[in-house]
Amino acid sequence: MSGSKTHGKGPLRISDYYRAFARQKEFHESIAKYRLFGGAAGPGKTKALLWEAIRQAIEVAGCDTLLLRRTYPELESSLLAYFRRDVPRAFYKSYSEAKHVVTWTNGSTTRFGYCRNEHDVYQYQGAEFLFIGIDELTHFTLKQWQFLTSRNRCPRRVYSDGQNAGKGIVPCMAGATNPGNIGHAWVKALWVDHVPPPGFERPELYNPRDYDFIRARLDDNPIYANDAEYRRTLETLPEHLRRAFLEGDWNVFAGQYFDVFEYGRHTARPEELRLEPWWPRWISIDWGFQHPSAVYWHCAVPGRSSSVIPSEARNLSSSFGQRDPSVASRFERAESTLPRDDNPCRIVTYREFVQSGLSPRMLAQAIAERSGRERINEVFLSPDAFAHRTSEASIAEQLGDVLVPNGLPRPSPADDDRIGGWQLMYQLLESDSWVIAENCAKLIECLPQLVRDDRRVEDIRKVEGDDPADAARYGLVSGGRLAGVGPAFVPARAGQAPPLYPPRGGPHFVTGMPLDEQIARQVSATDPTSRAIHYQRLESEARKQFRPKPLPRRRS
């Protein structure tokens, strides 16, 4: 790897401190505009990304380079840790701990940054970077990547060191990553399948020759190739993670179910959520002991309320404090299409608790502590928790014995229609009717990794770590009626957005007509499961309407 600088004791060369492995060398020598280095865990991806940024900064005087991770803790434990450990102090002029910017002796800089929220990329608006490297690229969204490509430019045209006379400077970007996470689908499309992914602006301009994938496996790193202990650690992972991290298999998430899920579109920062205390709230629980118990808090929000807006729609720049007018206008146009005389609702999943090894009573106490003084309308629990496995009270009863004294409802069995539930979740995402707070990290991480079952394509293949998705499904299907969405109101068909509000006026019953006939006329669902749920709801409403009225008390 080329690149050197002079020092009082002689020239310092990058090769004196970084000896690239064969795959790393292939990565550095690629001339593609956009490179992807990765696959399995452990081939030296992060180190290669760091030294690529250093090489370009040293070779081109006065340029700027950028290295990114999704969050600051990840940045601190990877790129910054490698920089402090491996890059000699004589290589650079200064390093700002506050700004995380390295200034090299030739005036070039390397900035270490992170983009925790969707709109954080806009802090680089107006900046120019000769090289942009993104570690764990699949943690980012396509829209973040596409915005950063607009920052990948350099006003200089030639190298200044004389060693590359006549060679033009070509701005470029690179990513390093494993398969999986929220960006798996679009990264795989661009580099592995060489096709423009859904949501790619101007797909006719996609040029596969711009995208070079340098596939690397554990064996490509001599340090780990013979490390039996590390290999055994990877081999004990659940199958989908083992195939991703050990074998670098990009097809492990083929058949991704929630291919419509987008981080910025379907998530919001907790501080953006202003949930009024009178809006309906409920809790959904997927019980587990060896497997984690997953608990989610949900709220039904009037759809035209401005209290919940996904991060992408707000699009605030953390540096400039400005709203992107193009994105804002798109959101406002979308909002204007909603019916003004109705009350469509949106479901917000705003809190998460996932932990294993808790007894039912310990779990209930944790739920009560996190609920505080909130008014919770219902608690929905996985149906298997109502079974009596021993002479002791069922799990549901044990939970209820703690929840009720703390002012929470006793758990009710959740609807466990898997296929209808997954389809409803898909519909809600597709119609922007479900918003997830960013503090629900396990759920956000889980959703993009769920794939269809080969033997039952309408269902999702059960894998280790799918507990958050099951718990969320219980909440959306069983609690959706509180928001006016769910199988009791809509046919459960993926690809068709459901009505976001109940029929005008609600159920209506009259005397003199058989009740069964009245209910049958008002059941709007088409599939058998949804019809049964809708029928039960209407039957319950009818019983309330025709319940005998108590006689008025006689005044004394």
Q: What was the pLDDT predicted at 520?
A: 74
**Over residues 529-547, mean pLDDT:** 69
Phi then psi for residue 544, to 5 deg, are -65, -40
**Over residues 164-188, mean pLDDT:** 80
DSSP class of residue 289 equals S
Give the mean pLDDT of the chain: 79
Highest mean pLDDT among 326-340, 372-386, 532-546: 372-386
pLDDT tens-digit readout, 437-473: 999 999 998 898 888 887 888 899 887 788 999 999 9
Where are the domains positioned within the chain? 23-253, 263-483, 515-545
Res 327 pLDDT > 80: no
pLDDT tens-digit readout, 94-128: 999 999 999 999 999 999 999 988 789 999 998 99
How many Cβ atoms sit within 10 Å of the Cβ of residue 452? 16
Res 31 pLDDT > 90: yes
CA angle 20–23–29, rounded 5-degree value: 75
Q: What was the pLDDT predicted at 224?
A: 64
248 vs 95 pLDDT, higher one: 95
Q: What was the pLDDT predicted at 223?
A: 65
User: Residue 447 is which amino acid?
Assistant: L
> Model confidence at 296, in pLDDT bands (50, 70, 90)?
very high
d(CA 163, CA 3): 10
Please tell me the least confidently modeled range out of 153-167, 474-488, 513-527.
153-167
Please tell me the least confidently modeled range out of 98-112, 209-223, 329-343, 419-433.
329-343
CA angle 319–320–325, rounded 5-degree value: 130
Res 4 pLDDT > 60: no
Please tell me the least confidently modeled range out of 287-301, 308-322, 408-422, 525-539.
308-322
Please tell me the least confidently modeled range out of 25-39, 81-95, 304-318, 372-386.
304-318
Q: What was the pLDDT predicted at 178?
A: 83
Residues with Cβ within 8 Å of 107's Cβ and at least 6 positions away in sequence, in order, are: 61, 62
Phi then psi for residue 104, to 5 deg, are -85, 165
325 vs 174 pLDDT, higher one: 174
Q: What was the pLDDT predicted at 471?
A: 96
Please tell me the least confidently modeled range out of 273-277, 451-455, 468-472, 500-504.
500-504
**Over residues 378-407, mean pLDDT:** 88
pTM as predicted: 0.60
CATH numeric code, 23-253: 3.40.50.300
pLDDT tens-digit readout, 136-157: 998 898 889 999 999 998 866 5
Please tell me the least confidently modeled range out of 247-251, 386-390, 500-504, 523-527.
500-504
Q: What is 484-543 written as a DSSP string?
A: T-STTTS---TTSPPPSSPPTT-----TTS-HHHHHHHH----SHHHHHHHHHHHHHHHH
> Model confidence at 553, in pLDDT bands (50, 70, 90)?
low
> Model confidence at 513, in pLDDT bands (50, 70, 90)?
low
Res 525 pLDDT > 50: yes
Q: Which residue has the tokens 């492990």?
A: 252
Q: Which CATH architecture has domain 263-483?
A: 2-Layer Sandwich (3.30)
**Over residues 62-70, mean pLDDT:** 94
Query: pLDDT above 70 covers what percent of the chain?
Result: 72
Q: What was the pLDDT predicted at 496?
A: 36
> Model confidence at 318, in pLDDT bands (50, 70, 90)?
very low
